[in-house]
Amino acid sequence: MADFDFFVVGGGSGGVACARRAASHGARVGLVEESRMGGTCVHRGCIPKKFLVYASHFSHDFEDAAGYGWSIGDKSFDWSKMVEAKTKELDRLEGIYRGLLKDSGVTSLDGHGGLVDAHTVAISGETHSADTILVATGGWPSLPDLPGIELAITSNEAFDLPQLPERVVIIGGGYIACEFACIFNGLGVETIQLYRSDMILRGFDMDIREIACDEMRKTGIEVRLNENAVKLEKTSGGIALTITQGEIIETDQVLFATGRAPNTSGIGLDEVGVERNHNGAVIVDSGSRSNIENIYAVGDCTDRVNLTPVAIHEGRCLAETLYNDNPQVPDHRDIPTAVFTQPEIGTVGMSEEDARNHCAGVDIYKTRFRPLKHTLSGRNEKVFMKLVVDKADDRVVGCHMIGNAAGELVQLLGVAVKAGATKAQFDETVAVHPTSAEEFVTMYEPTN
């Protein structure tokens, strides 16, 4: 008999969720993690990033307070104190993850796990057999092959810099690049963002992309499009970054946020015969099974939808299928998403561009306005909201927002889109006044 019914390689969100659910249904489960339990989200992604978002937003809040009669004295920010508080909380969260696994009956192992064959995992010279194996090793930031690239950092290192730089250049136009540009800018760092294409946030609704860029520039971020890094050189004053047209930018730190790759090398997948694509992602079917019958994969290592809640969803579906006689296939449609820029972005469903390609006809409803808060604060920040409606059945197939609490709002809008709510039902819903959210149920005339 095998040592385990189910063995998970990777202790991130997807792996832990799947392991715990499988164990709750009576499976004998083992899990190995070579770094810290909790994975990218807890230690190098969602959680520490949100802490930095909060920290960076206070500079705007202090400015806004003056319009409401508050007199704010001298202000200063202590980077080392913030990092210390962040690290303490992440240590606490890792302890919770380990406790949850233990309480669920999962055997947790520390070390580098690699597949020896389709039923065996090796950890530090010891082997463990399992009937079924799950690969849940996540992703890792990738860096381009440029001269001097060793001088750059990625999002991994940004959370634990020994000191806050005075100047930073961020390379990339995706959500990680945009979020860090807003974070550093909010902390008082002179921030330049370079993106090689003609607009940031590829894949999002075009209105969202253009307005986000506009709002980020308003806050003082120097967003430069159609420009890219060519070379980095160490200087006595920091780093000399040569960009596309030959210009040299002097800066203290260069952060590359130009993509993440599946973290699937060096764990025996090729030796066992598990198929991967050109980017290293494990190729799986709709049920998360690889080409090897008893080997599965979930989360960022499959490069499907790289979000923490998606990895958890995929893991739980798999555990239900394998160990609870309750077959479930993860649903990757209409996933609510937030981007914690300043102002933040919330989006669910189709962009206008996607809808025009997939629907016979669409109606577009949108509004842009100054939120009530800033009529007194004086901040030149606008809220933008947009609904995309399929004319054929009046269903709201896309909701998009830029503004305060957009991430919170889009969670509930996601329920409406998932449930197939119509524009008529949005219109019939009584508004909550005065809120920004009421605009979603009071946009009566299409703009197209």
Q: Could you tell me the CATH number of the domain that includes residue 42?
A: 3.50.50.60
Is there a single domain that holds both residue 254 and residue 387? no
**Domain stop point among 226, 258, 290:** 258
| Domain membership flag for residue 332 | no
Residue 1 pLDDT greater than 90, yes or no = no
Q: Could you give the angle at the alpha carbon of 308 between the alpha carbons of 306 and 310, nearest 5°?
A: 70
| Domain membership flag for residue 144 | no
| Domain membership flag for residue 265 | yes
| Domain membership flag for residue 173 | yes
| Domain membership flag for residue 254 | yes
**428, 395 in Cβ contact below 8 A?**
no
Is there a single domain that holds both residue 172 and residue 310? no
| Domain membership flag for residue 363 | yes
Which residue shows structure tokens 């005075």?
A: 166
How much helix, strand and coil, in percent to the nearest 5, is found in the chain?
Answer: 35, 25, 40
Is there a single domain that holds both residue 174 and residue 279? no
Is there a single domain that holds both residue 356 and residue 373? yes
Amino acid present at 421:
A
**Domain stop point among 301, 323, 345:** 323
Is there a single domain that holds both residue 222 and residue 233? yes
| Domain membership flag for residue 281 | yes
Is there a single domain that holds both residue 133 and residue 153? no
User: Can you give the residue range of the structural domain that contains 401?
Assistant: 337-441
Is the previous residue joined to 262 through a cis bond, with omega within 30 degrees of 0? no
Per residue in 272-318, pLDDT tens? 999 999 999 999 999 999 999 999 999 999 999 999 999 999 999 99
Question: Which of 387, 375, 398, 391 minimizes the C-alpha distance to 440?
Answer: 387
Catalytic sites, residue numbers: 433
The residues near 385 (Cβ < 8 Å, ≥ 6 apart) are: 366, 367, 368, 400, 401, 403, 436, 439, 440, 443
Alpha-carbon distance of 86 to 160, in angstroms, equals 9
Alpha-carbon distance of 418 to 412, in angstroms, equals 10
Is there a single domain that holds both residue 244 and residue 290? no
Domain count of the fold of the chain: 3
pTM for the full predicted model: 0.96
**150, 35 in Cβ contact below 8 A?**
no
Residue 129 pLDDT greater than 90, yes or no = yes
| Domain membership flag for residue 331 | no
Is the previous residue joined to 330 through a cis bond, with omega within 30 degrees of 0? no
Q: What does the DSSP assignment read for 357-379? A: HHSS-EEEEEEEE--THHHHH--
- Residue 266 per-residue DSSP state: T
- The pLDDT score that the predictor gives to residue 372 is 96
The CATH number of residue 351's host domain is 3.30.390.30
Per residue in 29-65, pLDDT tens? 999 999 999 999 999 999 999 999 999 999 999 999 9
